[in-house]
Amino acid sequence: MTSPDLGRVAVLMGGWSAEREVSLSSGQQVLDALLSKGVDAFAVDVERDQLCDALLGKCDRVFNILHGTWGEDGRVQGLLDVLDIPYTGTGVHGCALTMDKNLTKAVCEQHAIVTPAWKIVSDLESCSAAAKKIGSECGYPVVIKPVREGSSVGVSIARENQIEESYLKAAEYGDVMVEQFIGGSEITAAIINGSAMPLIKISTPREFYDYEAKYHQDSTVYDCPCGLSAEVEKEIQNTALKVFEITHCKAWGRVDFLLDEAGKHYLLEVNTAPGMTDHSLVPMAAAATGLSFPELVYTILSTTVESQ
């Protein structure tokens, strides 16, 4: 089998979201991996009004590793479609859907995918009412978080006396959601080119798997193999593939779940451009199958040829 002709590749990183620093770290490691594989790749980290000039006529395809808003919400994907530049990952429709946690949960619930109870709120008063309702039905604490952010930015685990400060923290990033808190473990399923990788079980001594635990703490434990039975692991992998399909995702990404103490799994969210740092989960899952980081990056980039 011959290698695809990838041409000149722009690695799109950095961006304008709250996840800029993570994106820069991911982007640099992706760039290094591509260069190590002999790919003619270069970094692109520019202001929005310079993006067309930085790409048009200067590359044959894009490895998009922008995280969060702009990078994962369909807007950059729409621009690249207009410019007719192939790019890694999910297209406009899937990105717009999965970046919105409310829409993701609503669509998946219609397909019998179990997700924690939730309510969209518009102000502090409605947040307090939603927290009271979910807290009375499901128990405290509750989760208060932005509807359209990733990497646990703006997320709080809130007790009854912490609703106001948690709402104000989340509201800095736009619309806010109150969600049922699921105690137990976080499980993640990486998906690469239509296949679900081995699951990873995440444990942290912190209150939850927050931004610090994801990117700055060495105390976070990642178990792969995940320790679940083969039957349960397969069930979660199948759920992840179903979620990926019904949310119109493609090529690569990650589907995150919460596993309660009774062993029931709940959909948490979908990531269409997951982190690719030394703390990141997709490279870890791929490594469990024998796929090195450079090989993983090259495989993801190669899907831009297959989808043309």
Give me the residue label for tokens 């083969």: 230
- Catalytic, 19? Answer yes
The reply to whether 61 belongs to the active site is no
**Nearest-angstrom CA–CA distance, 196 and 181:** 26
Point out the catalytic residue in the list 81, 269, 295, 302: 269
CB 284 within 8 A of CB 222: yes
Q: Which of 72, 100, 233, 256 is catalytic?
A: 256
* Catalytic hit among 23, 25, 271, 280: 271
Whether 144 and 118 have beta carbons less than 8 Å apart is answered as no
**Active-site annotation holds for 256:** yes
**In the chain, beta strands by DSSP E:** 8-12, 40-44, 61-64, 118-121, 142-146, 156-158, 176-180, 185-192, 195-196, 200-203, 221-223, 252-259, 265-271
User: Which residue is catalytic, options 151, 156, 185, 280?
Assistant: 151
Q: Which residues contact 248 (CB under 8 A, 6 or more apart)?
A: 90, 91, 93, 94, 97
Q: Which two tokens stand for residue 308?
A: 């043309």
Report the C-alpha gap between 72 and 197 in whole angstroms.
21
| CA–CA distance, 290 with 299 (Å, rounded to integer) | 13
Catalytic residue of the set 26, 149, 275, 298: 275
Burial of 217 (0-12, 13-18, 19+ CB in 10 A): middle
Is 84 one of the annotated active-site residues of the chain?
no
Start-to-end Cα distance in the chain: 18
Is 151 annotated as catalytic?
Answer: yes
Q: Which among 14, 17, 19, 72 is annotated as catalytic?
A: 19
- Let me know if 148 is a catalytic residue: no
269 is catalytic: yes
Catalytic residue among 215, 233, 280, 298: 215
Q: Indicate which residue of 27, 72, 149, 254 is catalytic.
A: 254
209 is catalytic: no
Report, as residue numbers or ranges, the catalytic residues.
19, 151, 215, 254, 256, 269, 271, 275
